[in-house]
Each structure stands twice: as C-alpha cells, then as structure tokens.
Structure 1
C-alpha cells in the first residue's frame, strides 16, 4: 500500500529521477550521459560533500528495464556492511555471475543469451532506446570510505577479476580514505558543493509546489536563513523547509517565520551568543558559569553549535588580538574532539569560556 503524499519526505519526492535532473554538475553529468548512451561505463568513484546530489546519481535508473533491475543491480551501504566477509561472500558472488553477451545494438535475438539465473529472456526485457540494458551488472557501494582497509584490498582484486561482467560504483565523502590501488581502478568524479543560487532556486520551486507561505514579503529572508543553516547540504535544506512547513501547520497554518528556523534546527539564537560574549568581556567567572548553566545547558542548546557560533563571533571581533583568537580556536578544536569522544558538554563549554574570559578585553 502506497504511503499518502503528505507522508513522503520531500528529499525523496523531489530527488532527481534522471541524470538530466541533477543540478549544477554539468560536466560530470555530460560525461556520464555519454557513457550510458554508448555502453562504455567504467568503474566509477563519486566523492564530495554531503548533500551534493552525487548519492542521487546512481539512483537514476537509465540503464536497465525495471524488470531487470533486481538481477542487474546490487546496492550495499558500506557503513552497515563493511567487513571483508561481505566482499568475499556477497559482492564476489554477485560479481561472478555470468550473463549473456550483447550484440551491441537493438536486436532482441542476441542481446542476452540467458538471464543471470539461467532462464530464457522475455521479449519485453529486450533492449530499447529508453533503456540501453548494457551487457554488465552494476554493484553500488555507498559510503565506501567506511569500508575497512582489508576489505578494500580484497575488493580491488574482485574489481579486476570480474570487470568484464560487472561495473562498480563507489560513493563516498572522503576520497582520501579510499586506498590508492582501489581508487586508481575507477574513474573519479568530484561533485562540488551546490552554489547558493542553485540551491535557492530549487528550494523556492519546492516551496511553491508544496504551497508554503511565509511572513509578509519575507520569503527570501526565510529561505536565505535555511540556506545559511544548511551550509551547502541540499538534503538538509529541503528537510529544514519541510520541518518548518509542518510545524507551522501546513498550507492552512501559520506563516513560516525566520526566527523559528534556527530554533527549530536547535541552533542558539544570535542574541544568546552576543550576551555570552558580553559576559566574557566582563572577566567575571561566576557570571559566566551561571550564564552557561542557566541559559545554555538548561535551555538544551547543543555545545557543538554554541562553540561554533561563539568562534565565528570572536573571529570577526576587532578588539580581540590574533594571538587570543588562535588560542581560543585551538581550545574550541580540542573541545570539539572531546565532545565527539563523549565528554560532558557543560565541562567543555566552561573550559572554552574560561580561556576566552582570560584572553578577551574588558568592555
């Protein structure tokens, strides 16, 4: 039973359905389109920042008839299945399955001699102009940068041994975590962060399609706030817009306000950071400690976001020396590492604020 339209996440509803729909990656899409049309697809390695639409590219089903997808495409999320046993068992087994040879054209007679499971090919599964149905299978390994180095070493041999019948698509955020012997076997494509203008155009299109309404003549301001918080991540921007639309009551509810965007995202408001900076400049430890506990910790703001906003504020302050800024930046980096390791948020906030209090001038 299909889910109602209102229950569909907008990131899925407005996901690109073809290569042509992927925005602002013109050269890469042109290269891939040509490779698809000529059946000369190499092994691929897509990398770039989160939300850059490269994860969507492999979902553009332009290669196979819908009835062929399950037999010709294997998708794995490497963050869940990243051990060497998966490479030796699941991936190697799928890659080694033989398929029939292709005549290279539109002939139904010789395109696939047999199905992958040994059955005769149905007439409706023959190649068409819309679906090239190339004579190879595809294995898609998402988040490949989380695969262990031993598993990557095993994978490079599998790629080499079965390249005649299988193509591999590796997708990751950090290409440096892919071992060089594996990366060298793939054609690399870097998906650059989407420019703000391209993201804004898409967000405005989605808001019109979903009948979002904003404060009077403040649609651009609200969307700019969403884009600022998303930091180039298109998925995050679309999700934030949907959340704001839902929390405001939908198309018949209250208008979406700029002030509610940061609050909904759990980010500290600018006034909170301004008040914190003012207290740090007073050189009063007790006042700083009480403010951190009552106005930040008790209000539930994440220490990571508070430290990031505080550092961004201090960086542009003229009455703080470069030496003080560098000391505070190093302390923020250390606290961020400690937070990732599970340290107490209150202690890390007080640690950073104590150092900032010592290095900032009195008003």
Structure 2
C-alpha cells in the first residue's frame, strides 16, 4: 500500500526523453527501412552484429533498446543485455576486462531456466513465465529469447583505436554467444576491420512533420500551456533550434514547461530562444551597425560588454551574424565569401576548444575591414 505514492513521484521525476522513448520497434517513427530489416532479423533469428550511425537524437539508442525489449523477456534483459557508454569507458582495459568477461559467458538452456515454473491462463493452458507478457490488447506476448547476449556500445566513435582493434577480436571469438550493437555519430572514426564485421545502418535526421507530431503529442500528455493561437509558432521555434535532434527538442519542451509551471503562465516563443542562449535579432542588428562604423574600439567594446559579458554563445552569434550579412545588398559577394570562410574556420576552432572571445573578435575584425572597404 505504501509503494504507490513513491512510484508516482518517480514517474513525475523521469525526464521526458526517457518517459516517451519508444518501447518497441513498431513505435519508432520515420526509420522505416531500418525497423523493417531488424524485424525480419528477429523473426528469422538471423541477427548480425550491428553498427548504427547518424546525427544525434535520431533514434539510434532507442532502436537498440527497443530491439532488446523485443528479443528478450523483461525478466531476462538485465542478464542478457550490457549497455556501455564509450565516452566514459573507452580504454583498452575495459575491452579486455568488462566487455570480454561478459561476452564470454555462456547462456543456459531455456529448459533448465524454466524448469518447474508454469503459469496457467484462463483457458487452462500452461505458459512459461519467461514467455508471458500481456500487451495493450490483452494478448500474451511471446519473446524469442535467442541463445545469445547483446552488448550495446554507445558513442563507439569515442573508443580509442587500440581498444577498437582489441574489440574486433572479441567480436570474432564470441560471436556464437554474443551480439554487438555499436552506436556512433561518425562512422569514419570506426576502424574498417571493426565496421566490416557489422551490418551498418544509417539513421537520417527526422523530418519536421514527424517531429512536430511527436512534440505535439508529448505537449498534450504533459498538459503544456501555450499562448492562444500560438502553439504552432512555439513548436516550430523548438524544432528550428533542435535541427533534427529529437532528444534536444523534447528536452527543450520540458525545460520551457518547467519555467512556465505557474497557474496562469504559458510557454512563449521568446522564452524558447532566450532559454537556448540565442542572441536576440536586435543585438545582431546593433552589432552590424557597429561594424559599419569602421571603429575597432567601438566594435571591441560592444562585443565584450553586450555579447561576452551577457553570456551569449559565440557559435550562435556567428551563425546569426552570417545569416544577416549574407542577405545584405550593400556588401560585395567577395566580402561575404571572406567573412563566411573566416566564420567557418572560427567555428571549427570553437569545436576544438578555442577561446570564444578571440574567435568572435577575429570574425568581427575581418567583417569590420570588409564593410569598411565597401563604404
């Protein structure tokens, strides 16, 4: 009796990304060819080693977990599935110890694990507990429970090359009792001998309509409030910021809902951009006017006081600045090209860990010179 309230509390505290993660392959949207291929592999009991790659938030981990739920009875998943995040555990010692140890364990026969455990349905038919689960239609679901385990290695492109080389031998040696699912964003960072041992599946960015339908469903389930007649505007703003990343879109919606959790408060479009750290359009317009003054000190003071000290992301500022400059008619095509090349180089430097202030000043200095020469 005392267990019910804590369960409700745990459910409300669960991140929406996990709460609305697809529970089975049929719940996965858009990745139709991949789902159909995996379903066929499950039905024919011919599941190979898998390599999922594609942009973040496109369903790679969700498909892997849904596949495991479809293969194994819920009571078997903890013993049959090992999930590792390679960004935390990516050394060769993990491959030699943790992964190899789990991969080498043999699977007991189904007969011995189910001996003496019989349940009876209303019709009097005996059912094994490992094969019993009731779906939404009230029918008993049966699980293949194949005689192998599954190791899910998430963010496999973060694994060192030496560890990948050691992993390919583990995959070969224990392929009879273990299947591997490698998940990565960049397939080029997986060594070819390892990639050639897996069936590769590319996950495409989710289309806007598919994401919009799912976001609207989650908003309805969580009773999110929007300004009257502006629900589509807010959802479109969330989708434009997420750039095809469903995980980011759901997280943004949850954050916006948390900030507007008052009785009469609603989710506003401007709050989405502010929460994401995007610079307001007025700020970028003022920056361009400052660049057109041809005064380096004014430009530097504006960047330091209104961008850096306000905490805006240099990546977002550069992106918004380029979007404005590209459509300016009083700037030559050559000047636009020079600024775009420098912005691309600075964006790459930011990814590599360069100082944001220096990269902002570098691009703005070049833009200052290009706009000055146009006066």
Paired residues for 1:262-341 under 5 Å = 262-341=273-352
Which of 57, 69, 75 matches 1:67? 75
Per mean C-alpha deviation after superposition, the further-off stretch among 343-352 and 232-241 is 343-352
Q: 2:265 aligns with which of 238, 249, 254?
A: 254
CA contact (8 A) 1:62 1:130 kept: no
- Asked if residue 170 in structure 1 is aligned to residue 178 in structure 2, the reply is no
Contact 1:113/1:121, CA 8 A, preserved across alignment:
no
Q: Is residue 151 from structure 1 mapped to residue 163 from structure 2 by the alignment?
A: yes
Contact 1:99 1:114 in 2 (8 A): no
Q: Shift in Å at residue 113 of structure 1?
A: 5.4
1:92 maps onto 2:100 in alignment: yes
| Structure ranking higher in helix proportion | 2
- 1:12 paired residue among 8, 15, 18: 18
Structure 2 residue aligned with 1:27: 33
Using the alignment, how far apart are the partners of 2:185 and 2:278 within structure 1? 24
TM-score (norm 1): 0.90
Greater shift, 167-176 or 301-310, is seen at: 301-310
Give the distance between the partners of 1:187 and 1:114, measured in 2 at CA.
33
Q: Secondary structure at the match of 1:202?
A: helix
- Cα distance between partner residues in 2 of 1:181 and 1:121: 45
Aligned to 2:135: none
Q: Distance in 2 between matches of 1:242 and 1:126?
A: 36
Note the residue ranges of structure 2 that are not aligned, 5 or more in a row.
Answer: 1-5, 119-127, 133-140
Q: What is the Cα deviation at residue 139 of structure 1? A: 0.8
Unaligned segments of structure 1, at least 5 residues: 101-110
> TM-score, length-normalised on structure 2?
0.87
State the distance in 2 between where 1:264 and 1:165 align. 47
C-alpha deviation, 1:191, in angstroms: 0.8
Q: Which runs of 4+ in 1 moved over 6 A?
A: none
RMSD (Å) for aligned C-alpha atoms: 2.0
After superposition, the Cα gap between the structure-2 partners of 1:99 and 1:113, relative to the gap in structure 1 and judged at 3 Å, is farther
State the distance in 2 between where 1:154 and 1:42 align: 19
Residue in 2 that maps onto 1:104 = none
- Which residue in 2 is equivalent to 1:184? 196
Does the 8 Å CA contact 1:68/1:125 hold for their aligned counterparts?
no
Measure, in 1, the Cα distance between the counterparts of 2:91 and 2:332: 49
> How many pairs were matched up?
349
Say whether the 8 Å CA contact 2:83–2:153 is kept in structure 1.
Answer: yes
